[in-house]
């Protein structure tokens, strides 16, 4: 394994002899209701932008879910790259001729290069592209979903959930930070550890966080109480990949998700909520990880299991 590897869901990461480290330098441009003077902000404008998001990628999956929860499907269009890609770019393998029907490109890299010739970092999803110019606007995945809530509010459906409730926002920010560092990124820290010592430490950190979440969900239906928030979206996209991918492929194998009662019930509760389960593609998830990560799975064999029918069973949450 080389000292640096490309991973198109998160840029460059370093693994040799130490723990996985994600390159989190993303395009800082935002799409906002009132562009700030002196910035390169783009204006909120229905019908102008296209969300490019692969169902296989957990970071992109959260943007897909938030777009649906807020009812922005007719306001922001969406293109979906296929589950596998090369070191160069995500590609539109699922579309006729391998071309995005709106942007007219084969590779997401084309939209990055159109705005930033010689773009030096990973071609990541999610990304939002300006349909007028064909240029990428942003790939800053945590900012994308936050802005979909705050900046696109006039275009939300009437009964859209309050994903960022003001009364718990400070605590929610702390919860989301721990979920990101210890769980969302923690599974990758296990999977791409560059030494036994790095793996052991990553494993312990991950399951300490999962134990904390298991305890937290013993006394509440969702992470912040009785209602779904952004924090739940961010945790869900990792949990839904846990048994099919992370347990075996990333060696996160102390327990399966299905063996952690509160987390398992919580995950199924979300899966069965409109906007969540219908935006999960287990076949694409498994193809992405097991085929693309040849440094971990050299033969590219995709496992047939596990049996996923239980996702539709009664979650037992109240």
| Bond preceding residue 173 cis, omega within 30 of 0 | no
At a CB cut-off of 8 Å and minimum separation 6, what does 63 contact? 51, 53, 126, 141, 144, 145, 148
Would you call 188 a catalytic residue per the annotation? yes
- Domains of the chain by residue range: 4-155, 166-312
Q: Is 259 helix (H, G, I), strand (E, B) or coil?
A: helix
Domain 4-155: state its class.
Answer: alpha beta
State how far the Cα of 54 lies from the Cα of 190, in Å rounded to an integer: 23
Domain 166-312, CATH: 1.20.1050.10
Single out the catalytic residue among 13, 57, 252, 266: 57
Which pTM was predicted? Answer: 0.94
pLDDT tens profile 93-138: 999 999 999 999 999 999 999 999 999 999 999 999 999 999 999 9
Single out the catalytic residue among 112, 188, 203, 290: 188
pLDDT tens profile 246-268: 999 999 999 999 999 999 999 99
pLDDT tens profile 204-261: 999 999 999 999 999 999 999 999 999 999 999 999 999 999 999 999 999 999 999 9
State how far the Cα of 12 lies from the Cα of 78, in Å rounded to an integer: 25
């Amino acid at each position: 394994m080389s000292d640096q590897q490309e991973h198109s869901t998160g840029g460059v990461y370093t693994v040799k002899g130490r723990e996985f480290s994600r390159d989190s330098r993303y395009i800082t441009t935002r799409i906002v209701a009132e562009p700030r003077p002196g910035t390169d902000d783009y204006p909120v404008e229905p019908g102008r932008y296209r969300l490019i998001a692969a169902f296989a990628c957990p970071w992109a999956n959260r943007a897909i879910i938030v777009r649906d929860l807020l009812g922005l499907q007719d306001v922001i269009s969406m293109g979906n790259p296929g589950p596998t890609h090369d070191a160069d770019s995500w590609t539109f393998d699922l579309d006729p001729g391998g071309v995005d029907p709106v942007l007219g490109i084969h590779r997401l890299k084309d939209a990055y290069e159109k705005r930033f010739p010689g773009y030096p970092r990973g071609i990541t999803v999610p990304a939002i592209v300006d349909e007028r110019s064909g240029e990428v606007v942003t790939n800053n995945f945590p900012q994308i979903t936050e802005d979909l809530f705050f900046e696109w509010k006039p275009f939300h459906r009437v009964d859209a959930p309050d994903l960022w409730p003001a009364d718990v926002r400070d605590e929610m920010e702390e919860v989301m930070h721990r979920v990101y560092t210890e769980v969302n990124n923690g599974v990758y820290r296990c999977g791409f550890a560059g030494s036994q010592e790095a793996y052991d430490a990553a494993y312990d950190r991950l399951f300490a966080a999962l134990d904390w979440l298991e305890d937290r969900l013993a006394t509440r239906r969702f992470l912040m109480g009785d209602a779904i928030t952004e924090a739940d979206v961010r945790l869900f996209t990792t949990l839904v990949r846990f048994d099919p991918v992370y347990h075996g492929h990333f060696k996160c194998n102390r327990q399966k998700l299905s063996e952690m009662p509160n987390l398992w019930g919580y995950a199924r509760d979300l899966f069965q909520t409109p906007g969540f389960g219908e935006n999960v593609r287990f076949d694409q998830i498994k193809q992405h990880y097991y085929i693309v990560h040849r440094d971990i799975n050299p033969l590219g064999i995709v496992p047939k299991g596990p049996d996923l029918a239980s996702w539709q069973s009664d979650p037992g949450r109240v």
